[in-house]
Structure 1
Amino acid sequence: MREVEESSGTTAMSAVLQRWWLREASACSDASIVVIADLITSLLGGIAIFAVLGHMSLELQVPIEEVAKAGQGLAFVIYPEALTTFWCPQLWSFIFFFMLYLLGIDSEFPLLQTTLTVLSDTFPVLRKYRSITAFIACSTCFVIGLSCVTQGGQYVLNLLDTYCAGVSALFIAMCEVMALMWLYGVRRFSNDIKFMLGKTPPWIFRFSWTFLSPLILCVLVVYGLVMAAPVMYNNVEPYPAWANRLGWFFASLSMIQIPLWAAVALFRARKNIRSAFEPTDTWGPAEKKLLQEYRATVANSKDRTCNVALRTVSANGTAA
């Protein structure tokens, strides 16, 4: 679950944002295909890696734990070792590393788009200067990334990969699903889906969203915090204490945002705390006609579980 959650980018909302641009596609089928394909790819990748690890362990006559290298070593050592057994290994090695390059570039598009969308929504004036904003964001990330290609870049990369893409991402995912299903409400969320797609999500989905997913994510977060150990390079060389403190600072910097802004929202609504847990007046579809219909369906149901008719949006943005 952790591998699928991290590789699909659900915590960073990049997958949700990309789906927003494809309004005419089937959301349910797209989400199912992406998750299943991600799961199968991860399983096949794991099978290939551990098969090669077993072969190398047998050839070198050493335990597997001494052959395996954590982190980037799995991709840059294990796979090339397997490719040496292929016909024309130079060709296959080129194809493999070119694939890694495309994979990295491909992953940057939704991540950067998510950042630009958040900035443009927060500061609408930036929408007029989208190209300039994108150039500044790319340049900033490029300068920051230079530290990962220095002589000690592998140490920096391993530190960031351990702390910034570990328990903090799971904590954010846990807070997202809890806030959506427990505060916004699974019934309200299901009715929103029915308003958009014309059918209520299956009960197994609602059960998973409400109980199973929060429980699993909570267990993973607690386990990650309890079993956290000082980071090591290649499972051999320990980092200095200040590096571990810096890593936890980076991890907590992203996690603290959720309780911090929740406290800000509660403070702003201190005269009516309940309003802090309710959608704003502008919440709803962007299309005016759909927004009126959505508000009417919500107003006509006290528990917000009423049946909602199917509504679609055509390519030009008009309601049908």
Structure 2
Amino acid sequence: MAHQQWRNQLDYIITLLGYSVGSGTFIKFPFYCMRNGGGAFLIPFVLFTLIGAIPCVFLEMAIGQYSQSGPIKVWDICPPFKGIGVGCVLCSWMFYTYYNVLFSWITYYFYYSFSTILPWEHCGNAWNTPDCISVDRNSTLFNITDSVPDIGNLTSNSTPGITAAEEFWRFQALEISDGLHSLGGIRWPLAGCLLVTNIILFLWIFQGIKVSGKLVYVTVAVPYILVGVFLIRGSLLPGSADGMYYFIYPRFEKLKDPKVWVEACSYALYSMGVASGCIITMSGHNRINNNCFKDAIVVCLTDVATTVYVGLAFFSIIGHVAYLRGVSVVAFESSGFNLAFIVYPEILASLPLPQLWSVLTFITLMTLAIDTMVPGIEIIVAAVEDHMPNVTKRQSWAVKSVVILSISLFGLIYISQGGIYVLTLVDWFVIFPSIAVFAILECLVVGWLYGTQRLQDDIDAMWGKRMPRAMALCLKYVCPLLFLVVFSYSLYAYRPPKYGDYHFPAWATVIGWMISMVSIIPIPVIFTWKVYRASGDSLAKKLKRALEPRKSWTRSPQEETPYNGVLEPMI
């Protein structure tokens, strides 16, 4: 079955934009800003978007569009490296087994947002302990008289108590166990949310991209509208200017720290989903003559603008709550699950009409999560269907059902009482260091083994123009170097996994590294197999033969369009 094509090109751009923004913009970006000097982080972030993210995104768009295929078949460009595609699919499958659980948690909080009194606002619930502390909207603390808790470090023993928001998260939402050795039972309310999540997913994707391409307008537009509401309302609250100033004003002394540059580079590259297989898969549905160079620039720059837009809204609210509490903005430094399910609820409880803001916040997170999940499922489905060229529509539904069912069943372990520990372990290792390895190899294979000259010819065959020489230089030299720096720093800065005060045992770390290797092992295995099967009476001849693109990769002259000039940069 031939790949469906987008109804129009805007569907494609909006889908990629939704995927790149995702819930990570709300969950990770504020943390990186606070940890790396606010506005100082934005400078290298924008720089690396221009010299790193745009070339990498364009590369994946070009080969995906030219191949009209998914993340594995695209490597007909250099068959021994099909292991990159297999690794991307395995990595995506493992990632989305727990990402849909994240959506389930958001759904659970969304349900409780309609309570008359938000349950994370006070300590009068059945699950609260004598150590519970709550903060009213006038900054009055209960069960504590001498200090304000740093809610950005809620799991630390240095705090004199546990906030009501953290107790709701740990003792009501998760009913958390003592550790990885004690998984406990399934949290059935979360199982119900997980079922709803996967029904939504199936209904969203079973008709293909022509339908999901329409729905994505809603899920992308809603967060933009709601973030605008947050920004306008937040700007009118006392203290908001301090938060926005912290976000915008660059502390230039921070730029002397190499970690700021490395983390900005990492976020710029990974926020666009480089080397995840998504851009290749989505681009495989483009018209063959689409100018994806413009698309790459539009998507990347819009992603940067959106990140700044979200940051202004977030820090305006943070500034107000910090003003009420008498603490600095940095006191809210947190990341990941703590930021989404402890700090955010704590902040929302401090606002006027907290139920309204809570509903709006979790609607925003839900729509952003959908924008990330739907293309992610398509990565896996496209990889399977590429190996079933004559698949019927009914068989395509079956493939999608099996993929979603497998993700759902595996996700049950994450909603057990000890599931947060399993999820943390998988999250710690599933992307590290796999994505960096895939990205480095991707740039080296296309830039050096296949060659930028042949890539230029392919681009010429698609829309009759050639990429600027600066882009080719970035693909060959700059991008591999950037990914190598990120990879090296990640290894240097590696620390064993932990969740709050819980440190994972040594055997769990071993399992974590095994999870990392699952997506990397296919690369040497498939490379060896392809070279071994290639024709030739010596290793050198076999290797040379194997590295040549498959005949199916090269387009016939009838498919080519005449060259009519150099594609000039738009910036």
- Which TM-score applies when normalising by structure 2? 0.47
SS at match of 2:549: coil
Distance of 2:432 and 2:344 partners within structure 1: 23
Give the corresponding residue for 1:78.
Answer: 343
- Between the aligned partners of 1:239 and 1:62, the Cα distance in structure 2 is 32
Task: Tell me if 1:276 matches 2:546.
Answer: yes
- Once the two structures are TM-superposed, the CA of residue 16 in structure 1 deviates from its matched residue by 2.3
Aligned to 2:274: 10
Structure 2 CA distance for partners of 1:218 and 1:82, relative to 1, 3 Å: same
Question: What CA distance in whole angstroms lies between the structure 2 residues aligned with 1:253 and 1:47?
Answer: 39
Q: What's the counterpart of residue 389 of structure 2?
A: 124
Aligned partner of residue 284 in structure 2, secondary structure = helix
In structure 2, do the counterparts of structure 1 residues 99 and 21 end up closer, same or farther at CA, with 3 Å as the change threshold? same
The residue that corresponds to 1:289 in the other structure is 558
**Contact 1:120–1:127 under 8 Å retained in 2:** no
CA RMSD of superposed structures (Å):
2.9
User: Per the alignment, do residues 154 and 180 of structure 1 end up closer, same or farther by CA in structure 2, a change over 3 Å counting?
Assistant: same
Give distance in 2, aligned partners of 1:182 and 1:203: 15
C-alpha spacing 1:136/1:237, structure 2 compared with 1 (3 Å): same
Correspondence for 1:232 among 490, 498, 517? 498
CA distance in structure 1 between the aligned counterparts of 2:449 and 2:526, rounded to whole angstroms: 15
Match of 2:379 in 1: 114
Residues 166-175 or 53-62, more deviating: 53-62
- Measured against aligned partners, the alpha-carbon deviations of 1:52-107 in whole angstroms (never above 9, x if no partner) come to 38965993769957x53432212233333444454423212112112212222222
Amino acid at match of 2:529: V
Q: Is the 8 A contact 1:126 1:133 kept in 2?
A: no
> Does 1:162 pair with 2:431?
no
Q: Decide which moves more: 40-49 or 197-206.
A: 40-49
**Range moving further from structure 2, 38-47 or 254-263:** 38-47
Supply the distance in 1 between the matched residues of 2:489 and 2:531 (Cα, whole angstroms).
Answer: 30
**Which aligned pairs between 1:231-270 and structure 2 lie closer than 5 A?**
231-234=497-500, 236-269=501-534
Give the letter aligned to residue 563 of structure 2. Answer: A
Q: More helix by proportion, 1 or 2?
A: 1
Change (3 A) 1:229 1:178: same
* 1:96-107 matches, cutoff 5 A: 96-107=361-372
* Change in 2 beyond 3 A, CA 1:47/1:263: farther
Q: 1:196 aligns with which of 458, 462, 466?
A: 462
Asked if the contact 1:17/1:114 (under 8 Å) is kept, the reply is yes
Q: Which runs of 4+ in 1 moved over 6 A?
A: none
Q: Deviations over 1:190-221 (max 9, x none)?
A: 22112212221112211111100000101111
Residue in 2 aligned with 1:22?
286
Letter in structure 2 aligned against 1:225? L
Counterpart of 2:563 in structure 1 is: 309
Q: In the TM superposition, what is the alpha-carbon distance from 1:167 to its structure 2 partner?
A: 2.2
Q: Aligned-pair distance for 1:19?
A: 2.4
Matches within 5 A, 1:141-220: 141-220=407-486
The range that moved more, 173-182 or 51-60, is 51-60
> Structure 1 pair 244/42, CA: closer, same or farther in 2 (3 Å)?
farther
- Measure, in 2, the Cα distance between the counterparts of 1:282 and 1:159: 41
Q: Give the letter aligned to residue 164 of structure 1.
A: V
Which residue is 2:106 aligned to?
none
Check whether the contact 1:8–1:35 (CA below 8 A) recurs between aligned residues.
yes
Counterpart contact for 1:163–1:247, Cα < 8 Å: yes
Q: Work out the number of aligned pairs and report it.
A: 292
How far apart are the structure 2 equivalents of 1:58 and 1:208? 47
Matched residues, percent identical? 28
Cα 1:143–1:36 change in 2 (3 A) is same
CA distance in 2, matches of 1:264, 1:168: 21
Distance 1:60 1:76, change over 3 A: farther
Counterpart CA distance in 2 for 1:249 and 1:48 is 40
Letter in 2 for 1:261: I
> Would the alpha carbon gap of residues 22 and 248 (structure 1) be closer, same or farther in structure 2, given more than 3 Å must change?
same
Gaps of 5+ in 1: 295-307, 311-320
> 1:119 & 1:63 partners in 2: Cα distance?
47
Alpha-carbon distance, 1:231 to partner: 0.8
The separation in 2 between residues aligned to 1:45 and 1:151, in whole angstroms, is 33
CA offsets, 1:100-130, max 9 Å, x none? 1222222221111121111111233545611
Moved more, 215-224 or 125-134: 125-134
Counterparts in 2 of 1:224 and 1:38: CA distance versus 1, 3 Å: same
1:137 aligned residue = 403
Q: Which runs of 5+ in 2 are unaligned?
A: 1-264, 565-571
Task: From the superposition, tell whether residues 49 and 139 of structure 1 become closer, same or farther in structure 2 (CA, over 3 Å).
Answer: same
Give the Cα–Cα distance (whole angstroms) in 2 for the partners of residues 55 and 166 of structure 1.
34
- Alpha-carbon distance between aligned partners in 1 of 2:314 and 2:484, rounded to the nearest angstrom: 29
Structure showing greater relative contact order (alpha-carbon pairs closer than 8 Å, 6 or more residues apart): 2
Cα distance change, pair 47–242 in 1 and its aligned pair in 2 (3 A): farther
Contact 1:54–1:64 (8 Å) recurs in 2: no
| Paired amino acid for 1:250 | I
| AA at the equivalent of 1:169 | I
The amino acid that maps onto 1:106 is D
1:93 aligns with 2:347: no
Are the aligned partners of 1:148 and 1:157 in contact in 2 as well (CA < 8 Å)? yes
In 2, Cα distance between equivalents of 1:79 and 1:217: 32
How far, CA to CA, are the matches of 2:324 and 2:503 in structure 1?
28
User: SS of the counterpart of 2:457?
Assistant: helix
Q: Summarize the Cα distance change of 1:83–1:204 in structure 2 as closer, same or farther, 3 Å threshold.
A: farther
Does structure 2 retain, via aligned residues, the 8 Å contact 1:10–1:16? no
Following superposition, the deviation at residue 289 of structure 1 comes to: 3.0
